[in-house]
Amino acid sequence: MTTPRPTHLHRRSSSKWVPPSAPLHNPISIFKGRSNRETGSRVIRPNHLFESPRYELTNYRDFTDNQISTTKYSIWNFIPLNIWHQISTKYANLYFIFIAVLNWVPFFDAYTRYVGLIPICFVLGTTLIKDGIEDYRRWKFDNQINKKTCHVWDRERCAFRKTEWRYILVGDFVHISNDQDVPADIILLRSSNESGTCYIETCNLDGETSLKQRMVPAKVVGYSKKDSTFKPSDFTGVVTCEKPDKSIYTIRAKVEYEPGQTDVIIKDNMLLRGSRIKNTTFVEGIVVYAGHDTKVMLNNGRAPHKTSGIEKLTNKFIIACFVMLLIMVIYGASASAVWVGDHPTNEQIPFILSNTPTPFIEGFIGIGAFFINYQLLVPISLYITVEIIKALQIYFISNDIQLYDSKSDRAIDCRSLSIPEELGTVTHVLSDKTGTLTENMMIFRNCAFDETDYGTQGSKSNPDQPVKCEELYQRINNSMHNPVQKHFFANILLNNSVVVNTIPHTDLLELGNFEGGVYNIGNSCFYDVTEEKYKAMLAAVGKEPTESDDVSRPDMLGLPTTITFDDRLTVIVEEDTPSESPIPEASPSLRDSPETATPTSPIYRPLSSLSSFSRKLSTVVRRSILRPISNIIPVRKQLISFKQQALNPYEAESPDELALIEGIALYNYVLLERAATSVTISTPEKAEKRYELLLTLPFDATRKRMSVIVTSPKGPLLYCKGADSAVMSRLTSESLTDPKIQTIKSHLDDYAKKGLRTLCFAMKYIPQEEFDDFLHSYKFLMEDSSTEREKMLSEKADELEKNLKLSGVTGIEDRLQDGVPDTLCALREAGIQVWVLTGDKLETAQNIATSSGLFHPQRPLKVIENEADAEEASESAGLNIIMSPAAIRLAQEGNSHLIEALRKAKTVLCYRMTPSEKATMVNTVKKKIKGNVLAIGDGANDVPMIQAAHVGIGIAGKEGLQAAMACDFAIARFKFLSRLLLVHGHWSYYRLANTFLYFLYKNANAVFIIFYYQFFCGASGTNIVDPIWGVIYPIIFTSAQPVVVGVLDQDFDDKTLMSKPEKYVIGRENQLYRWKHFFIDVVDGIYQAAVIYYVTHLTLFASDASLWEMGFYIATSSILVNSGHLALQVRYWHWRLVALFCFFIFFQFGYFFTECLTVGANMIPDPPVWMPIHAMKDSRFWYSQVITVIVALCPRFTSMCLLNSLKPGQKKN
C-alpha cells in the first residue's frame, strides 16, 4: 500500500533549491579533485542542454564552481599549515622547537622533558588560536557571500528556482532582479527593458557609484521584447571566450547560435560579479566565469602579510642574540671539557654518580646542555606578550569615541591586529582625493555661455544643495529662443547617461510560486500566474481540481483582469465587482521583504483553492505594487519638483552628469525620459520636446569626451562634452581668435582656480552624406572581435569630433570634507610628507591642494614635467612639488634627480593619474625613497594602493566598502587620520619599542646569571635556580607587568600630542628603537646579572647555605631588579599598576613557599622544606636584596636623571 503524497505541505526550507548531490551535501565530493588548468579558450554550452546529473556536467568538471574562499586555512590543514607558517615566518620558533626536542635527549636534558615543552607549546598554541579566530572571521564573511541567493534555471522543472550562489555553475542560466548583486560573470541575454538594456552599479569593482549601461548582444534583442515567448530552455547558443583574466574593462568572447549566426561579445554585454542591477526590473544571462575565476576575485588577491619595522629590526636583534648564544655555548662546552680533562677522577668531581666521560664527550654533551640553559637569550615569551599587547592596543583604538562619526554612525574598524606600531612610524601619506579629501558630492555651481558667467555659492544652512542663480534664471526666462542658450542646455540634457527612474522596479518572480500544489513566497518558477498554469501544476503533482480548487472568480476587491508591471512581467488574476474596501496597509515583514515573513503568517499557510491563492496573491500584488504606483505623481511634475520628493528620480553613470541635470532643473530645463533611441526634455516655456538619438559615441579615458548625434531640421546634430584639453583643441580655427570664446576660456580658468571640476560643451551640424558614411564604418567596427576594436572605434570617433563650435562651460564643486585642512596641516607639522594623487586636471588639482592646506604657504611651488625640471628641483629642499603624468613615469623609472627632489620635498601633488599608477607610485616611494608609506582611499580602485602600502587606511564612504574591507584600518572621515597617527600611532610605537627592549634586557639578565655561575660549578651546565621557576619566570612572573605597561603607559597625553604634532618625530625617525638601544639594554642586563650573582655569592660565601637557598636569593633579586628596571621606564603611573608590581613580588614568595612544601630536592642532598622561611629570617637576605637593587639600577637611574636635567620632558634617544 502506497502512502499518498501530501499535496498541501509547506516547509520553510523548501523556499531554496539545493541541487541533488551538491558538494557540501555530498561528503564524497569534498575529496574529489577537479583540476582547472585551462590552456586555451573556453567553450561553454548551456547546462540545460544536457540530461546528465548536475554535478557530472562537463562545465562542472572543467571549470570552477561559484563557491569562494578567502581563508588561509581549511578545517583539514589548519593545525599543520598554521604551525608551518609560524615556523617559516618567525625563525625563533624553529629555534624554540629545536631546544624543546634537545631537552628530550637523555644526555642533554637540563629540565624535565615535559617542562621544556611548556613555553613553545604555549607560544604556538596562543598564536594558533589567534590565527584561527581571524580565519573564522574570514570564513563567516565568505559564508555570507556564498549563501546569497539567485534564481537559476532548473531543466527538470523547466523553471527558475532560488538557490544559493555557491551552487551556481558555469553554463547556468540565471535570473537577477533589481537591486540584487550579480553572482558571477555572465553574458547578458535578456532584460526587462524592451530595448535590451539594463543599468548596473559597479562601486565594488572600480569604486564608482555612478550607473553604467549594459546591453544584450544584437542578435538576441528580441528576447526582451514584450511579445516574446522566450524561455531559457530555448537558448542553445555556444559561448567561446578567453581564459579568465583580471581585466574588468575588456572581454573577448562570442556566442554562436547556429552556423553563420554569431554575436561578438564586448564589455557592454557583460555583467561582472559584484556589480548590482539598478533601475531594471530583471536581467537574465548565462554564466561564463564563476567563483575564483571571476574578474573581481582575480583582482581581489589575498591581503599581503605585513610586518612592522620594529618586528623586522627585532629579527636582526634576535640574530645578534643567537650569535651571542653560540659564543656562550662554545665557551661553556669548551670550559666543561677542560674541567673534565683537568679532573680525571670521580672523587674530585662533586655529585658525579657514574664514570666520568672523556673531555670530548663532555664537551659534546655540554653543547646541548648549554643550549637548553641559555635558551632564554632568544626571548620566547616576547612574541606572545607582544601579541597580547597589540590586541589590547587595538581594543582601545577601536573604542576611542573621538574616532566615531555620528553622521554615518561609523567607528574605526581595526582589521589588522599586527601593525598598530606602524601608525607611529609613517613618513609618507599617499592619499586619494575624490571621496577621501572631498565629500564626493557634486554640486552645480557655475556655468558660462554667450560671454557671461553665472554662479552661486552654497547656502550656510544647506551647503550640499545647488542654489538658484537669479541672474541666470532671469536671463533664461527673458531669452528663451536664444540659440546659444538653447544648444548649451540641450547639450547638457542630451549628452549624458542619466536615467529617469520614476516607477519602482518590482520583479514578480520574487513574489512566489507553486511547488507541490503549494504557493511559496519568494521562489517563483514561472513568469505569469494564471488559472491554466495552476491547473497544470495540480496535474503535475497528480491532483485533480476539486470543489476546494474552485476556479470561479473570487472576490478580488476590484483588481483589474491583468496587472502589468514594467511592460515585462505579468500577473493575471480574476476581476470582480469593485469594492469600496480600502487597501489595507502592508505588514512590516511583507513591506520589507516577502522572504522574511514567518511560516505562521497567512502568506505561508497551505492554499487549498485557487480562490485562496488569488486572495493571497491579490494582497501581495496590491501591497507591493499598486500602492507605490498609486503614489506616483505625474512624471513631469515629479521631476520638476524633485527636490521636494524623498526619492531622487535620477540615476547616472557620472556624478558630474547627475549634478548638472539636477542643477539646471532649477531653471526649468528638465530631463523627462531617456529611451534607447530618444530623449524627452522639458524647456522653460513648458514645452516637451523629443529628440531622436541617431548615435552615441561613449566616453573613454583616451578621448576624454562623449558625444551624441541627434536629428534636427538642419540634419544630424552632434553635441560634444568633455574635458577642456579634449574639447578646446577640436574647435574650429576661427574659434581660436574669437573674443567670445576667449572670454569663456578665461571663465573656465577661473573655475579651475576655484577648485571646480570643469566641463566644456560644443556642437556642430554634420552633412547627411558624411554621417551615413561614418555610421556605416562605425557599425562595421562595432562587429569587429579583435583586440584593437576599442582603439579603432576611438580613432573613428575622433574623425567626426572636430571643427566644433563651443557652446559653453560648467563648473561643479566637490566640497572638501570637514577638518581636512587642519588634518593636513597637523601631518605636515609632524614631518610627514603628504602626497595627493588625483585624476583631475592641473588647475583643479592645484586649487584643491591650496584650499585643503596641502601646500605649505611659505614654501615655493615647483611643477615638474621633464628631466630638466627634476634636476633643477633636486637642488632645493622643502618644495611643494606638482608632478605631471610625464614626471610620474620618470619617478617610476627611478630618475635619480627626481627621486632626490621628492625625497627633499615638503608635499607632492600628482595629477591626471590612473588607478593603476597609484599602486605603482606607492611601491616607488617604498623602494626608491625608502619611506614608510601609509595609503588612504575610499574606492575599490584604491585597493591595490592600500594593500601595497605599509599601512592601508580605508574610508567607508559613498564608493562602497571595498577599500574598507581590504585595508588595515577603516575610518569614517579623513580628519580622524591625525588622531590615529599622532596619538594612537605614537603611543603604540612608544609602548612596543620599550616592551621589545625590556624583554631583550630581561632575558639577557636571566641568562648571564647562569653564565656567571658556570665559573664556580666546573662549567657543568647546572642551573642555579629551580628549573621549573626558570622556565615559568619569563612567562608568568615578569610578563604581566610589561603587558600592562605596554598597553597603558604614556610619555605624553593625547592633548599634548594633538597640540604638538612635532612629537611624532620620535616614531617617524625611530628614535627609541635602534641598534644602540639594543646594545645599551643588553649590556645593562649583563651588568645587572653580574651584580645579582656576585652580591649573592659574596653574601653567602663561606656559609653553609644550600644551592636551593642561593637560588632563592638570586630569584628574589632578579624579580626586584627587573621590576625596578621596568618601573624606571614607566612615565604614567596609576595605583593599579603599583598594585600589580607588588602582587607579583609577593607572588614570587608565595610560589617558593608552596613549592618547597610540596616538591622534594632533585639530585640535591638537602631538601628545600621551609627554605624560604629560614632564608628570610636571616638578615643577610634583606641587606643583600637592598644592596643588589641599588647597585644594579644605579647606572640607569643616574643616566635618566642627567637626561631629564639636560633635556626635560624628553625620552632617551
Provide the annotated binding site for Mg(2+): 432, 434, 938, 942
Q: Would you state the cell numbers that stand for residue 962, as one nine-digit string?
A: 571595498
- Following DSSP, what letter does each residue of 156-192 receive, concatenated? TTTEEEEEEGGG--TT-EEEEETTPBP-SEEEEEEES
* Cα distances (angstroms) measured from residue 637 to each of 55, 493, 649, 659, 671: 54, 17, 11, 19, 12
Known binding residues for ATP: 432-434, 657, 699, 721, 757, 838-840, 912, 918, 941-942
| CA–CA distance, 335 with 279 (Å, rounded to integer) | 84
DSSP 894: T
- Catalytic choice (432, 566, 1026, 1049): 432
Let me know: does 846 contact 828? Beta carbons within 8 Å: no
| CA–CA distance, 216 with 223 (Å, rounded to integer) | 9
Report the run of H or E that residue 1079 belongs to, with start and end.
helix 1075-1099
Angle at 871 between CA 867 and CA 873, to 5 degrees: 115
* Cα distances (angstroms) measured from residue 257 to each of 60, 238, 260, 780, 914: 22, 6, 8, 20, 39
Residue 783, C-beta contacts closer than 8 angstroms, at least 6 positions apart: 264
Q: Per this entry, what is the length of the chain?
A: 1213
Known binding residues: 432-434, 657, 699, 721, 757, 838-840, 912, 918, 938, 941-942
| CA–CA distance, 931 with 674 (Å, rounded to integer) | 51
Phi and psi angles of residue 754, each rounded to the nearest 5 degrees, phi first = -80, -5
Q: Would you state the cell numbers that stand for residue 1116, as one nine-digit string?
A: 628574589
In the chain the first and final C-alpha atoms are separated, in Å, by 92
Let me know: does 415 contact 818? Beta carbons within 8 Å: no
Mark whether 432 is an active-site residue: yes
For residue 750, the tally of other CB atoms under 10 A from its CB is 17
* Cα distances (angstroms) measured from residue 183 to each of 65, 460, 662: 11, 44, 33
Region of residue 98 (phi > 0: left; psi between -120 and 50: alpha; otherwise: beta): alpha
Let me know: does 1125 contact 1001? Beta carbons within 8 Å: yes
Nearest to 1026 by CA among 904, 910, 1108: 1108
Cα dihedral across residues 226, 228, 229, 232: positive or negative? negative
* Position 324, amino acid: M
Specify the long-range contacts of residues 16-20, CB closer than 8 Å, at least 24 apart.
16/149, 16/162, 16/163, 16/164, 16/523, 17/152, 17/154, 17/161, 17/162, 17/163, 17/167, 17/523, 18/163, 18/164, 18/167, 19/54, 19/55, 19/163, 19/167, 20/53, 20/54, 20/55
- Following DSSP, what letter does each residue of 939-975 receive, concatenated? SGGGHHHHHHSSEEEEE-BTTBSHHHHHSSEEESSTT
- Active site residues per annotation: 432
